[in-house]
Amino acid sequence: MNKIAIAGAGAMGGRIGTHIANAGYDVTLIDYWEDHVQQINNNGLEIQTETETYTVDIKAKHPEDVSEQFDLVIILTKAMESERMINDLLNVDAIQDDTAILTMMNGLGHDERFSKIVPMKQVFLAVTMWTAGLRGPGQLLLEGTGTIELQRADGHADDRTEKINNIFNYAQLNSKISDNVFHSIWSKATLNSVLNPLCTILDKTINEFAQYTNARKMITPIIEEIVEVTKQKGVSLSVDELVEKIENAYPIEAQGLHYPSMHQDLYKGRLTEVDYLNGQIVEYGKAFDIPTPNNEMLTHLVHQLEMKK
């Protein structure tokens, strides 16, 4: 795995890309945002951490300008741009038959969508607890630490899984190979499907939301619908464990002070990933004949807010 592309090099793509580049790998950032690409090529990627600000020299390209082939492509666009990105990279032959395509985007159903474009054996899924922020074109804000969990999407063993895991660990990204990545994907997607739309609609931080006496009564029906869907998807999660996971995010010393990313996207005038969270749960519900009225209403409310921006 010599040539690595980070396709979608915003906050998270920038973070993962600089870690891997700093470990000595040949990394190319690929992004649609012209100013960002130009800034990175002219001045490097500026990283601000809790303690220092420094610059990383790294290549950046617009997808149309890519002329190399990659062994590993890490998709970190927003979910709604991911299929366009894969198609654009196929058009310039950057993705070959043996290229591993890994995503650690939030949300659900990426494997199903990607496998309509490339064979499922090329698709790898990861869940990450790393976080990152973007201060402007070419400027990242990187705080805290995180972990990565990955698996080939069809669950099959593959030498490439081991190789990707080794690259991530060499890059100090705290990675492990999962034997059930969908459990972690659904667990994280449930937290995001509950707190992201509620805090966005209510314009509250996570801790402000938690102050309401009946917060648990608000989150439980949303979670119950998700758990019914997960049973059909072969993922074993309980309502109680998911309520506990979400309530663990409430304290100020956990994630309480944060507005979730959906809130940040909406208030920056950008589209949100709601169709890949609650909206995807509604789609699965329809396919399995499971009613999902709470998730459907949250999806509509967020789309209504998107229209106001």
Q: State which residue, 224 or 245, has the beta carbon closest to ligand NAD.
A: 245
Asked if 79 interacts with ligand NAD (CB under 6 A), we say yes
**Binding segment toward ligand NAD, per CB under 6 A, in 44-52, 87-95, 124-132, 154-162:** 124-132
Q: Which range in 9-17, 41-49, 50-58, 91-99 contacts ligand NAD by CB under 6 A?
A: 9-17
Alpha-carbon distance of 125 to 105, in angstroms, equals: 9
C-alpha to C-alpha distance for 215 and 208, rounded to whole angstroms: 10
Q: How far apart are CB 140 and ligand NAD at their closest, in Å? A: 9
Buried/exposed 82-119: b ≥16 CB within 10 Å, e otherwise: bbebbebbeebebbeeebbbbbbbbbbbbbebbbebbe
36 lines the binding site for ligand NAD (CB under 6 A) = yes
Minimum Å gap between C-beta 231 and ligand NAD is 25
- The distance of Cα 63 from the centroid of its chain, to the nearest Å, equals 20
As measured in angstroms, the least distance from the Cβ of 78 to ligand NAD is 5
Q: Which residues are within 8 A (CB) of 203 and not within 5 positions of it... i.e. 6 or more apart? A: 263
Contacts to ligand NAD from residues 249-308, by CB under 6 A: 261, 273
Q: Decide: is 134 part of the binding site for ligand NAD (CB under 6 A).
A: yes
* Number of amino acids touching ligand NAD (CB under 6 A): 21
Residues 294 and 277: beta-carbon distance below 8 Å: no
Q: Which of 3, 59, 176, 188 is catalytic?
A: 188
Among 31, 71, 111, 149, binds ligand NAD (CB under 6 A): 31
Cβ closest to ligand NAD, residue 64 vs residue 240: 64
Here the tokens at position 271 are: 């589209």
From 4, 132, 194, 246, residue interacting with ligand NAD (rule: CB under 6 A): 132
Q: How many residues does the chain have?
A: 309
Residue among 106 and 161 whose Cβ is closer to ligand NAD:
106
Instruction: Provide the minimum distance between the beta carbon of 125 and ligand NAD in the complex, in angstroms, as a whole number.
Output: 12
Shortest approach of ligand NAD to residue 291 CB, angstroms? 27
**Rule CB under 6 A: is residue 76 a binding residue for ligand NAD?**
yes
Q: Decide if 188 is catalytic.
A: yes
Q: How is residue 278 written in tokens? A: 């609650």
What residue spans of the chain are helical by DSSP H?
A: 11-22, 34-43, 82-91, 110-114, 159-170, 181-202, 206-210, 215-232, 239-248, 261-267, 278-288, 293-308
Contact status: 193 vs ligand NAD (CB under 6 A): no
Q: How far apart are the first and last CA of the chain?
A: 42
What amino acid occupies position 199? C
Q: Which of 76, 10, 72, 73 is nearest to 40 (CA)?
A: 10
* 38 sits near ligand NAD (criterion: CB under 6 A): no
Contacts for 246 with CB less than 8 Å, ≥ 6 apart: 190, 191, 194, 195, 219, 223
Closest to ligand NAD by CB, 24 vs 269, is 269
Residue from 4, 5, 6, 12 in contact with ligand NAD (CB under 6 A): 12
Determine phi and psi for 94, rounding to 5 degrees. Answer: -75, -25
Residues facing residue 128 across a β-bridge: 148
H/E run at residue 219: helix 215-232
Residue 141 in the binding site for ligand NAD (CB under 6 A): no
User: Footprint of ligand NAD on this chain (CB under 6 A)?
Assistant: 8, 10-13, 31-33, 36, 76-79, 105-106, 128, 131-132, 134, 261, 273
Residues belonging to the active site: 188
